[in-house]
């Protein structure tokens, strides 16, 4: 038995289009059953898949947050190490500059001391040479004076003067 409504017949006459409300002819019942069965079976299957996917995404997010916090901690530690290394490098540079200045000052001091010692040695050598030359000149002058005196002595000394001179020399030797 088909129930016909005036509206479908109306729509069918005016352009070949109509709506069939008969559930048996349209397979409406079969579609409802198939859709219901699909929803009932797929709810657990799709729900499980979606839940596993959700848990996987949450685990990935948690892992990413953990890696971010770990990377942040590593970055802070690396920045701290960098600051310490820069401080140590600056300290080493300052120590190097101070050591170079101390070495330069010590070198200058040793150079000045060496120059003073060389000057003292030169003055001592000069004084020694001057004393040697002076002594040589005195000896030469004394030798020449003795030669002149000996040359002129025989003509100026008679026997009495010679005796007085010898006696006076003997007395002088006795007083020393």
Question: pLDDT of 28-79, one tens digit each?
Answer: 778 888 888 888 877 777 778 888 999 999 999 999 999 999 999 999 999 9
How far is Cα 166 from Cα 147, in angstroms, rounded to an integer? 18
Question: pLDDT of 8-35, one tens digit each?
Answer: 444 445 556 667 677 677 777 788 888 8
Supply the pTM of this predicted model. 0.40
How far is Cα 83 from Cα 90, in angstroms, rounded to an integer? 11
Q: How far is CA 135 from CA 126, 131, 138, 141, 146, in A?
A: 14, 6, 5, 10, 16
**Residue 54 phi, psi (nearest 5):** -60, -45
């Amino acid at each position: 038995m088909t129930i016909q409504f005036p509206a479908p017949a109306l729509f069918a006459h005016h352009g070949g289009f109509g709506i069939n409300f008969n559930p048996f002819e349209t397979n409406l019942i079969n579609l409802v059953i198939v859709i219901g069965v699909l929803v009932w079976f797929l709810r657990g299957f799709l729900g499980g898949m979606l839940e596993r996917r959700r848990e996987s995404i949450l685990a990935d997010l948690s892992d990413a947050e953990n890696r971010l916090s770990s990377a942040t901690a590593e970055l802070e530690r690396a920045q701290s190490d960098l600051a310490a290394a820069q401080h140590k490098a600056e300290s080493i540079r300052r120590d190097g500059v101070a050591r170079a200045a101390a070495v330069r000052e010590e070198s200058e001091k040793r150079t000045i001391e060496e120059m003073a010692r060389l000057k003292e040695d030169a003055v001592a050598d000069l004084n020694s040479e001057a004393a040697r030359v002076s002594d040589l000149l005195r000896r030469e002058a004394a030798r020449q004076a003795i030669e002149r005196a000996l040359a002129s002595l025989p003509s100026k000394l008679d026997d009495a003067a010679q005796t007085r001179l010898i006696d006076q020399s003997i007395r002088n030797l006795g007083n020393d």
